[in-house]
Structure 1
Amino acid sequence: MLLALLLCYAGFTALCLSMPRHHDELLGSKPSARRRQGLKLGGWLLLGLSLSAAVAANGWSFGLVDWFAVLMFSALALVLLLPYRPRLALALAGVSLLACPVAAWAQC
């Protein structure tokens, strides 16, 4: 469950950064078209990996329910952090990507 949460948060942050407005706010520059495509692809890939992690942990029946809960929680956390602590939101995405291998190892 922790792995799915970390992957979801990182995926939503990547999708957020693929938008020019948020990219400019957080990183100080507009993204190029290539970077935007890469962030979109990476974000959707991370969300797909989070689905597979949730299903692997709990099976299809409870895994999908857990995945939807993790999706809502991570999106809510990102939406609440962006207006007040945008740098913290970005730092948490980096930490979540770094913590994913540890969470994957703990899940096995």
Structure 2
Amino acid sequence: MPVVALLCYSGFTGLCLAMDRHYRDLTGRALQARVGLFLRVGGALLLAAALAVAVQADGGWSMGLVHWCAGLMGSAMLLVFLLPYRPRLALGLAAAGLPLAPLLGLAL
């Protein structure tokens, strides 16, 4: 389910950017405490939204949790492979995933 994968990827990217090292590598600036809190809360909310979408779309907790875990694993692996080699692409994919997720949800 692409909506769950996009939400998971954007959530993991938010959690990743909440770490001072990754934020500094991608933006060139030091992470402020307020921005870090916003990124942590936003990342956690995106992961929770992905869980809600997966459970709702698959008709229950049994298959919804399976699809959510698959989305978590796939998006985390993509982020882990993109971050060291193409950090700007990793950030751009997360930024593009936020508006695309609701549009895909409406289309499907």
Q: TM-score, normalised by structure 1?
A: 0.96
Q: d(CA) in 2 for partners of 1:4 and 1:95?
A: 14
Q: What is residue 72 of structure 2 aligned with on the other side?
A: 71
- SS of equivalent to 2:40: helix
The one-character-per-residue Cα deviations of 1:43-74 (angstroms, maximum 9, x if unpaired) are 00000000001001112111100100110000
Q: What is residue 99 of structure 1 aligned with on the other side?
A: 100
Q: d(CA) in 1 for partners of 2:49 and 2:25?
A: 27
One-letter identity of the residue aligned with 1:76: M
Equivalent pairs counted in the alignment come to 107
Please tell me the root mean square deviation across aligned C-alpha atoms, in Å: 0.7
**% identical equivalent positions:** 53
One-letter identity of the residue aligned with 1:51: L
Which runs of 4 or more aligned residues in structure 1 lie more than 6 Å from their structure 2 counterparts after TM superposition?
none
Q: TM-score, normalised by structure 2?
A: 0.96
